[in-house]
Structure 1
């Protein structure tokens, strides 16, 4: 018996990327747990007129999305996967120019956004280290830089070292701003690809058990993911971290206000045995400043290795936003439950979808 990957959508959020509707079946790269979710079919009757405006001008934080919009974005991402596999590719964004303004180092996020834009026929202006090699080093304000860069481009993808910087940029710019991470604040596009990956790997989002492990105080990815998981029913989240990097009270308070059950634990093995998803993160040394003693206290406390895999459920997956250090050992990579490289590839499809939606609409 087949089950839809995504809920049936209300009229305003069903999606059509081109003149065609899409179908997905088991022969087209199915989720690993194909017995749980075997077919996605989006028929002509569920399609929308092209050029319907996207609901948002910017992508700033995870809270801005509701379930219907998430489901619709995920359907667009499925179509993007088809486009990515075609040759010579799409011209959906031909004539559009994206600026990547990165004040912190990035490999996956920056390159996946640039790849996403080019695979849709667009062009890219890039800054790899705007904090050091731009006018910011001379003291120019973020607002002034945004006003200048928006004159050269149609959309800005920005990573910044300060929490809240993306909101400042969006308040200044007259073109779309995409938050690619703002210090220890949020990373909404990572959260979107994480939830998309969970849907594909596990086959559902309601009723899942997720363990968030590692640096929960400084990890913007886990903050955004927790916010998105709160959109779904009967979810339980476990927080497993060293004392110095526990999840902050604002996220725990938000989850409580949304009726999401959560629990803090120091026992990784016990949590892993209960979870559908184990989401590991690295301890972020760069956030500790001169307190190397605190970093050393936290580093290496929770490691996922073959012994941990032995207590994991067979259907469960290990995820990681990457880069990793030693918090997942290399011998885990060959286990089919290691989903982090599939997760990274899904980032391309989600970012292709967001660029398309922000620039030309549904």
Structure 2
């Protein structure tokens, strides 16, 4: 195996198309391994992952910890580092990072401040993986999202992706937009209330990379034409103004009636957790891929840990 070129994973912009293909091939190997091959069961024997989460998490934290354990490594963790670590006593992120360098071989970090993972990576001797930094980025979620799309369509070139909901504060859609720019003839439709529009830096990046995009406020215009509808929840915890939240909450619900207008081979995705934006009635539709999407997080995170630590 050729050496993995990254020392840290902090943002989606680090990945070009060949590197994405390397990650996806490795994820395929991990998926096959869990299905019965068991070639990687002790691949990271003796390695320790520090799971440092300053914000609540279920899927990301557990999938990372499961990934490390399935590769034969070990995990040290705290459920909420803001409350149950020295951060509660005022310890800086830089000091916490330096301390973890003496305890672990890799740090998986979720933090409430955008840019926190990049700051930690600047001073860390061991790999840092960004598991979500405020309203900044969530690169491993974007990787598993892209992997899910590629699996559903046997490729990504030429697809139309609709991102729906909280695009202003949604780090998952920001990260995914960066990765989609690596493919040919992809079009992105941003569907959101005015208070949740995608930020200008992403739009400028897409324009620089000649990725066509447009904005819509009417979901019904988009459901018949999109190959993938990527729903997100309105993140109440990110809003500073309660009136802005009330203006956005409940605006976009992918009802069974709307699903009927979708293409037969289109897919529905969601980074989860959901609130009311996808009713449970939709779960049994073959186009609903969000639980498969979550499962793919295990394979992608196994691949990333393996690529980073087995160099």
Decide: shared fold, TM above 0.5: yes
Tell me which residue corresponds to 2:63. 112
Q: Aligned partners of 1:270 and 1:204: how far apart in 2?
A: 25
Which structure would you say has the larger Rg? 1
Pick aligned residue for 1:293 from 243, 264, 269 = 243
State the partner residue of 1:316: 266
CA separation in 2, counterparts of 1:219 and 1:55? Answer: 28
Partner of 1:222: 173
Which residue number corresponds to residue 9 of structure 2? 59
Q: How do 1:265-284 and structure 2 match up within 5 A?
A: 265-284=216-235
Q: 2:140 aligns with which of 189, 192, 196?
A: 189
Could you tell me how far 1:87 is from its partner in structure 2? 7.8
- Are 1:124 and 2:60 an aligned pair? no
Whole-angstrom CA distance in 1 between matches of 2:113 and 2:6: 23
CA RMSD of aligned residues (A): 1.0
Counterpart CA distance in 2 for 1:94 and 1:123 is: 8
Paired residues for 1:173-184 under 5 Å: 173-184=124-135
The alpha-carbon deviation at position 86 of structure 1 amounts to 2.9
Superposition pairs of residues 1-362 of structure 1, within 5 angstroms: 50=1, 52-86=2-36, 90-289=41-240, 291-361=241-311
TM-score by length of 2: 0.98
Shift of 1:293: 1.8
Corresponding residue number in structure 2 for 1:32: none
SS of match in other structure, 1:100: strand
1:38 matched to which residue of 2?
none
SS of aligned partner of 2:253: coil
Count of aligned residue pairs for this structure pair: 310
Aligned residue for 2:222, secondary structure, equals helix
C-alpha distance after superposition, 1:37-95 (max 9, x if no partner): xxxxxxxxxxxxx3x32110000100110001101110000000011223877100001
For each residue in 1:189-236, what CA deviation from the matched residue of structure 2 results, as whole angstroms up to 9, or x when unmatched?
000000000000122211100000000000000000000000001110
Contact kept in structure 2, 1:202 and 1:276, CA below 8 Å: no
Distance 1:239 1:72 in 2: 29
Shift of 1:117: 0.3
What per-residue deviation string (whole Å, max 9, x for no partner) do you get for residues 293-350 of structure 1?
Answer: 2111100001001011111000000000000000001100000000000000000000
| Alignment TM-score, normalising by the size of structure 1 | 0.84
* Unmatched tracts of structure 1, length 5 or more: 1-49
Distance in 1 between the 2:121 and 2:217 partners?
39
Q: Tell me the SS of whatever aligns to 1:237.
A: strand
2:268 is paired with a residue of what secondary structure? strand
User: Is the 1:213–1:279 contact (alpha carbons within 8 Å) kept by the matching residues of 2?
Assistant: yes
Aligned to 1:179, the other structure's residue is in SS state strand
